[in-house]
Amino acid sequence: MGMRLSKASRIVAGVMLAAALFPGNFAAAGAAGASSAGKPAQSQVYNQELFKIHVVDAETGRGIPAVELKTTNNIRYYTDSAGNVAFDEPGLMKQTVFFHISSHGYEVPADMFGYRGQAVDVTPGGNVTIQMNRINLAERLYRVTGQGIYRDTVMLGETPPIEEPLLNGKVMGQDSVQTIKYKNKLYWFWGDTDRPSYPLGNFRVTGATSKLPEQGLDLDVGVDLDYITREDGFAKSLVPPLPDGANIAWIFGLMTVKDNNGEERLLAAYSTHDPNPRSFGILIFNDEKQEFEQLVQFPGTSDWRYAGMGGQGTYYEDGGKGYYIFTQYEYPNIRVEAKMDAIVDYTQYEYFTPLAPGTTYAGANTQLERDAEGKLVWGWKKNTQMLTQEKEKELIGLGLIKADDERYFQLKDVDSGDEVQIAQSSVEWNEYRHSYVMIGQEKFGKTSLLGEIWFSEAPAPNGPWKSAKKIITHDEYSFYNPSQHEYFIKDGGRYLYFEATFTNTFTNAPAMPRYNYNQMMYKLDLANPELNLAPPEGPELTELAQGKAITASSSESSHPAADANDGNGQTRWASDSSDPQWIQVDLGTTSPISRVKLDWEVAYGKAYKIQVSDDGQSWTDVYSTTSGDGGTDIVNFDEITARYVRMYGTQRGTMYGYSLWEFKVFGRN
């Protein structure tokens, strides 16, 4: 933040604020202390009714799961999947209690000290409803797996919407879901699964079945999972020991095909580990044993030609044939004909690529296929290596893919033009959008390494993927391996449901009790106008400010102006705590510019201007606001030529100064 209070000044400021907010309570507390008599409360038998805290989405009124409520002495509570907390804290009943309130993708307004929370009069048997504003475009619905999904709802004596709200299949945590419709049921499979009785659980795939939507399953309400269990009730290992002897087995890319007898069979690509990769191949589900059996093991462990190294599988038709397409290399760029004999033969897999047939990626020596007119030939080719987003970008930088060549994986933020790097994705046809829709997990995101989720669409499952909109954000928490639920698309595809693994893995964040390492369900309304992916008109813009000379009206010693354009989203500029303040960048030469991106820290500008200048002395306003609310501001304006660009703040949004993680300027070189 822009200012740091000393311990003494924080105490004084806090007392002044509390006295201003709760003068009656302070007086009452003093009177009670002066006249109290009798047996001390600490030695009395404690038997109080619960106090219900219900946290809801201000837009929909639905309870929000995974909201943290923290008291001033750091006691933390987390809402269950109905948005409930059953509060029963000895010493805090019949008190006014301030709760700091936070949740990934949701917020409550900050007060003058930057605190986001609410003071609540806690009474035995009472209740309060607290609204949070949703930042995410997608709405968080509930936790699908794990212990205590509706714990607090049950404690409050209310009826939960699922049959097993407390512990199902003795599952404490589950990683990376795969789902498929098979023989009139929906089958669910997960990777590593935790149990209550020991820190090590099941590392050879677990599974469950549920009803289908036409049988009464409604993803707005929840999922009643019927786990495939062993005798002691814990979820059964569904991949028995294989010839490779590895202890860990994962499955990906579920497929259903007809066997030689015309019977529907369930297949899955698999990988085994110990912990390094041991083998890849294809499994087949034994309906009688309710477990998988090996169908084929592919040779080697490092071949890019194999399916089963990660991602989701999607069925689609092309040229009159049915195919399964896989997202293990970020985007859907591997496919195989949906026939048993093709799936088990790795030489029959095809790869979407512009490389010359039969070649592999070789950096500057990569051979590309071009037609007689010099046009780059993208297509499905056997035994020819696919391109990832990174490899395609490298070939563009090398000049091998030219400016007028088609590009398939260079995904950009539709608002800022920033590159969006995809780690994993789930792609399905959507009738409402009349396109293939991607739910993509970003890698190296601004607020979380693997926790940001994006929406994109394309005319074919292989792309081209060009523009994306962020729909979920996490603050230093992972949300990986997303999976769309194609069987639950409502109202002609308008409402889309998806889930992913919610975990602190790959972060420094503490694990959220009950929620960590489990599946969280989200809902996205595809009619939301913010999902319009038409990029701003005009030429493609370039970020011009990074590394350029930058100055400010004032700076904290540990947060200089240069931290706002150093290309590191974890460093920031912070000003003194007064108005006005400014930060300006010298682009080095006059350039046509039309966009500025401001990524605010907690200390944001409520009223500010974007100004431009040719000499750094005389300024022209190109944008102004008096209603800034922090977060990320994308400011678009009519193209203008200028050398200097500055943010000129006239009213702070908090008691602190102004602070920016990033100050970016976009234009044409």
Q: Average pLDDT of 354-378?
A: 97
3-state secondary structure 450-466: CCCEEEEEECCCCCCCC
Q: Which residues face 496 on adjacent strands?
A: 524
Instruction: Say how far apart CA 546 and CA 579 lie, in whole Å.
Output: 26
Please check the confidence at residue 411 and state whether its pLDDT lies above 80. yes
- Residue 110, phi then psi, degrees to nearest 5: -85, 145
Encode pLDDT of 561-580 as tens digits: 999 999 888 899 999 999 99
Encode pLDDT of 35-75 as tens digits: 444 545 454 556 789 999 999 999 999 999 999 999 999 99
Please check the confidence at residue 249 and state whether its pLDDT lies above 70. yes
Q: Cβ(251)–Cβ(270) under 8 Å?
A: yes
Q: Which of 28-32, 565-569, 576-580, 590-594 has the lowest mean pLDDT?
A: 28-32
Q: Average pLDDT of 498-510?
A: 95
Please check the confidence at residue 357 and state whether its pLDDT lies above 90. yes
Instruction: Say how far apart CA 507 and CA 475 lie, in whole Å.
Output: 10
Please check the confidence at residue 29 and state whether its pLDDT lies above 90. no
pTM, to two decimals: 0.83
Q: Average pLDDT of 400-427?
A: 93
Contacts of residue 12, Cβ cutoff 8 Å, sequence gap at least 6? none
Please check the confidence at residue 17 and state whether its pLDDT lies above 80. no
Going by the DSSP 8-state scheme, the letter that residue 384 receives in this structure is S
**DSSP assignment string, 508-563:** SSPPPTTTTTEEEEEEEETT-GGG--PPPSSSPPEE--TTSEEEES--BTTB-GGG
Q: Average pLDDT of 186-203?
A: 97
Encode pLDDT of 447-499 as tens digits: 888 999 999 999 999 999 999 999 999 999 999 999 999 888 788 899 999 99
Residue 117: its pLDDT value, please? 97
Q: Which residues face 605 on adjacent strands?
A: 652
Residue 542: its pLDDT value, please? 86
Q: Categorize the per-residue pLDDT at 31 as very low, low, confident or very high, splitting at 50, 70 and 90.
A: very low
3-state secondary structure 215-258: HCCCCCCCCCCEECECCCCCECCCCCCCCCCCCEEEEEEEEEEE
Instruction: Say how far apart CA 533 and CA 312 lie, in whole Å.
Output: 24
Please check the confidence at residue 93 and state whether its pLDDT lies above 70. yes
Q: Average pLDDT of 179-192?
A: 97
**DSSP assignment string, 177-220:** -EEEEETTEEEEEESSEE-SS-S--B-S-EEEEE--GGGT--TT
Residue 20: its pLDDT value, please? 43
Q: Which of 18-27, 246-255, 555-564 has the lowest mean pLDDT?
A: 18-27
Considering all CA atoms of the chain, what is the largest pairwise distance in Å, rounded to the nearest integer? 98
Q: Categorize the per-residue pLDDT at 22 as very low, low, confident or very high, splitting at 50, 70 and 90.
A: very low
> What count of residues does the chain have?
669
**DSSP assignment string, 273-337:** ESSSEEEEEEEEEETTTTEEEEEEEES-S--TT-S-SSS-EEEEEETTEEEEEE-TBSBS-EEEE
Locate 307 and state its tokens: 């399916």
Instruction: Say how far apart CA 100 and CA 89 lie, in whole Å.
Output: 16
Residue 32: its pLDDT value, please? 38
Instruction: Say how far apart CA 311 and CA 334 lie, in whole Å.
Output: 11
The residue assigned the tokens 């699964």 is: 193
Contacts of residue 18, Cβ cutoff 8 Å, sequence gap at least 6? 26
Q: Categorize the per-residue pLDDT at 309 as very low, low, confident or very high, splitting at 50, 70 and 90.
A: confident
Q: Average pLDDT of 604-614?
A: 97
- Torsion region of 135: left, alpha or beta (phi above 0 gives left; psi -120 to 50 gives alpha): alpha
**How does the average pLDDT of the chain come out, rounded?**
91
Instruction: Say how far apart CA 485 and CA 501 lie, in whole Å.
Output: 14
- Residue 401, phi then psi, degrees to nearest 5: -95, 115
Fill in the amino acid letter for 118.
Q
Q: Categorize the per-residue pLDDT at 631 as very low, low, confident or very high, splitting at 50, 70 and 90.
A: confident
